[in-house]
Chain A
Amino acid sequence: FPGLADVSISQDIPVEGEITVPVGSQSPDDDYSTLDEPVKDTIMRDLKAVGKKFVHVMYPRKSSALLRDWDLWGPLVLCVSLALMLQGGSADSKDDGGPQFAEVFVIIWFGAVVITLNSKLLGGTISFFQSLCVLGYCVMPLTVAMLVCRLVLLAGAGTVSFIVRLIVVGAMFAWSTLASTAFLADSQPPNRKALVVYPIFLFYFVISWMILTFTPQ
């Protein structure tokens, strides 16, 4: 630093002072430091986030909460419970029965990944995991439908029960598709919306078909 070459401190002026770092409680780090909180708080916070997203799916409005803070806990729980409830179907031989646990899992996750890739390739602006999150959470009406179907099948397996199941599954399929479309359609270019919505329709149709054709032992 050539300009400072001739700066000098006169010997008469004492150089003194204090160097202290204020250790105050208003540093922003404290708000995000969750290491010291009780475990219950941590779990409850995540559970509340998941629960809030479930409510968003039940009443689909164009809110961005589902998109902003994505998580995959909800989809995992829904997928596992759906796959478990689809077990126990009747089969004379292994080849004729309903989908196995792994098949349901693969269909849901691989299907969601393919749909996400499809929407991104078509020019969508949504991120990969946000899309997975939305598609996974919107499986919830169909999981509810599966629960209802199993309960109805406990009462009997005749034509009336089939019609009830058909109506319930049909309604939940429409709900799932509309909910996920409400969240995902905005992030697509307008002249390609139908191209993005159709695979979502196919995805939920396949899941609905698996639920509707479930026949117990």
Chain B
Amino acid sequence: IACLIMYLFAEFDDAANLLAANPDATTISIDEPVEIPKNQHSRLQEPGREEDDELLGTDDSDKTELLAGQKKSAPFWTFDYYQTFFDVDTYQVLDRIKGSVFPVPGKNFVRLYIRSNPDLYGPFWICATLVFTIAVSGNLSNFFIHLGKPTYRYVPEFRKVSIAATTIYAYAWLVPLALWGFLMWRNSKVMNIVSYSFLEIVCVYGYSLFIYIPTAMLWIIPQRVVRWVLVVFSLCLSGSVLVMTFWPAVRDDNRRIAVATVATILLLHALLAVGCLAYFFDAPELDIPAPIIPAHNSTTKVVLEQ
């Protein structure tokens, strides 16, 4: 993982050099009306964001970005306000999922796929699916592991569903909240080129959890090696999406703080995967053969007596 991170840092250093060399690049800034307070910081960074867009490629020409400026104007107590967070079509959701599973090196997930249209559909339903996938897969895996044993009775373990739900929803909402607060605080100290709104961070985290759904299904296989390989593989994929998203947001900061932030993000992500594996999936044991020593003793006794 360290090699991957160093490689990614090199990529972003290149991008930063390009930006430094071309500060007068013409940008198109899209006017957006005054929005709710938590979006204001990212609006202030508008010109810088457009430059990043140019560097990262704007090959997706959907008009929703042009219309994005006119949509978020309803007050927060109306139903229409929340409807703006579900303004996605099927193909957009599928594109975002694809982007989280196949991260393209150098491309920022938020800039490329979310593009000022963060949605809550993806994070919410991916988390719901993940909760039930982990609970069902854990149950199935335990069933297959303990199948032959005579003392085993199948239990549905329904309590674990609520535990899984609490854990995953807490991770998908509280960690972005903490990260957003931290980034806002650092923003007030150091002017960053790239900064994200709270919903964009929730979006990235939600979509990055998608890879764990097939991973959880494959964790049914009761081989320790297979499970750990899956953990490392999915961690690399979703971790790289997160790193590529958040490294541009912290790289202008103090080097140590930037590295510490990215390391914490990865650590929490790894903790989630390993914790789910440890809690919901019993360890696959090897079968212990029945002890044969007492029988051996009695036969030797018989021989001696004769």
Chain A residues within CB distance 8 Å of chain B: 89-92, 94-99, 103, 118, 120-123, 191-195, 198-199, 202, 205-206, 209-210, 213-215
User: Are B90 and A89 interface neighbours, CB within 8 A?
Assistant: no
Question: Which of A89, A97, A123, A199 meets B83, CB within 8 Å?
Answer: A123
User: Is B215 positioned at the interface, with any CB of A under 8 Å from its CB?
Assistant: no
Taken together as a complex, chains A and B put the C-alpha atoms of A26 and B153 apart, in Å, by: 70
Tell which of A90, A94, A192 touches B89, judged by Cβ atoms closer than 8 Å: A192
Asked if residues B90 and A103 are in contact (CB atoms below 8 Å), the reply is no
Q: Which of B110-157 contact A (CB under 8 A)?
A: 121, 125, 128-129, 132, 136, 139, 153-157
| Pair A191/B153 contact, Cβ less than 8 Å | no
Judged by a CB distance under 8 angstroms, whether B88 is at the interface is: yes
Where the two chains meet, the residues of B that have a C-beta atom closer than 8 Å to any C-beta of A are 79, 82-83, 85-86, 88-91, 93, 121, 125, 128-129, 132, 136, 139, 153-159
Bound together, the chains give a CA A99 to CA B162 distance in angstroms of 11
A95 to B162, CA, bound (A): 11
Are A97 and B155 within 8 A (Cβ)? yes
* A202→B154 contact, CB < 8 A: no
Q: How far is A198 from B124 in the complex, measured between Cα atoms in Å?
A: 12
Residues of A within 8 A of B139 (CB): 213
Q: Which of A90, A121, A210 contacts B82 (CB 8 A)?
A: A121
* In the complex, chain B residues whose CB is within 8 Å of the CB of A98: 156, 158
Q: How far is the CB of B106 from chain A (nearest CB, A)?
A: 30
- Residue contact B156 to A213, C-beta cutoff 8 Å: yes
A68 to B85, CA, bound (A): 29
Measured in the bound complex, the distance between the Cα atoms of B125 and A121 in whole Å is 14
Give 9 closest A-B pairs by Cβ, nearest first. A96-B155, A121-B86, A213-B156, A191-B89, A98-B156, A194-B90, A95-B159, A99-B158, A122-B86
Interface residue SS majority, chain B: helix
Residues of A within 8 A of B82 (CB): 121
- A210 in contact with B158 (CB, 8 Å): yes
Instruction: Give bound CA distance, A92 to B154, whole Å.
Output: 10
Residue ID in chain A nearest B153 by CB atoms: A90
Distance of A102 Cα from B97 Cα, bound (Å): 34
- Inter-subunit contact B90/A193 (CB<8 Å): yes
Assess whether B93 is in contact with A195, with CB atoms less than 8 Å apart.
yes
Whether A198 contacts B125 by the Cβ 8 Å rule is yes
For this complex, 13 residue pairs linking A to B, each with C-beta atoms less than 8 Å apart, are: A92-B153, A97-B158, A98-B156, A120-B79, A123-B83, A123-B86, A195-B93, A195-B121, A202-B125, A210-B156, A213-B139, A213-B156, A215-B154
For B94, the closest partner residue in chain A by CB is A194
For A92, A122, A215, the residue with the greatest tally of chain B CB atoms inside 10 Å of its CB is A122
A13 to B44, CA, bound (A): 85
- B82 (CB) vs chain A CBs: closest residue: A121
A191–B132 alpha-carbon span in the complex (Å)? 26
Residues on the A chain within 8 Å of B89, using CB:
191-192, 195
Output the least CB separation between B24 and chain A (Å): 40
Alpha-carbon separation in the docked complex, A47 to B107 (Å): 60
| Residue from A103, A192, A205 having most chain B Cβ neighbours under 10 A | A192
Nearest-CB distance from B104 to chain A (Å)? 24
Closest to B128 in A: A202
Known: A194-B90, A206-B132. A215 touches B125 (CB 8 A): no
Residues of A within 8 A of B93 (CB): 195
Determine if B155 and A91 form an interchain contact, defined as CB atoms under 8 angstroms apart.
yes
* Known A118-B121, A202-B125; further 16 A-B contacts with Cβ < 8 A: A90-B153, A90-B155, A96-B157, A96-B159, A97-B156, A98-B156, A103-B158, A118-B86, A121-B82, A122-B121, A191-B89, A192-B89, A202-B129, A202-B132, A205-B132, A209-B132
A126 CB → nearest B CB, Å: 14
Q: Is the CB of B121 within 8 A of A191?
A: no
B residues near A214, Cβ cutoff 8 Å: 156
Q: Distance (Å) between the CB of A183 and the closest chain B CB?
A: 20
* B85 / chain A contacts, CB cutoff of 8 Å: 121
- Greatest chain B CB density within 10 A among A99, A121, A123, A214 is at A121
Q: What distance in Å separates the Cβ of B286 from its nearest Cβ neighbour in chain A?
A: 24
Closest to A197 in B: B90
